[in-house]
Structure 1
Amino acid sequence: MNNTSHKPEQLGPGYSQEDWDEVSDNPKLTAEELAALRPAHEVPEVYDLLPRRGRGRPKVPDAKVNITLRIAPDLLDAYKATGEGWQVRMQEDLRASMDRRLEVAVKRSKHVASLSRPSKQTA
């Protein structure tokens, strides 16, 4: 597992902290200035200008759904044996099968509908 703990910021090559402080646009705040600071939400004219972001990743309109699926071990082994990306291949195969089944169902329904219509009789 990767170590994601905070690491001290590295200074640029050949520059000391004093060099960075000298060119900084942000002067150090005094104790009085720090005490006078307020959270942004208490200053509506500033808070309203801040961008709004939700928590986590942005929502995707066609997001995939996590499920638990019980399948035969030999079928799972066969997909895993195809290497990395086997889950995507399994989804593609399921989608292709669904498309074929839908085509057959549509053809059947058209056939059934044609059988159930009364034939026109000529007089």
Structure 2
Amino acid sequence: MKEDTTGKTAMSFENGTDWERLRNMSDEELHAAAVADPDAQPTDATFWENAKLVFPEAKEVVTIRLDSEMLNWFKEEGKGYQTRMNAVLCAYMRAKGGHRHPSS
């Protein structure tokens, strides 16, 4: 594992990840932990035969008027409130029979 880090070094523990413990694990320990994780099953060559690279659709910058109470409610959860608002609007769109572009 590389010794240098990229991005922010002051990591938050809000998500429950013990970053210091992970930094101190050996490659063997990391591999054993990954194999033991039921949500992280290894893939083989067959899996990648039909894989394709899909880029997310670019977001559009818009100006929108929102109720301050609703906006503050989304912001209470912290960073990522715009992404959460987008997810809620996408769920509403799908519930009403709309669909997303095939590339997203």
TM interval, shorter chain, is 0.3 to 0.5
- Give the TM-score taking structure 2 as reference length: 0.39
- Give the TM-score taking structure 1 as reference length: 0.33
| Structure with more of its chain in helix, by fraction | 1
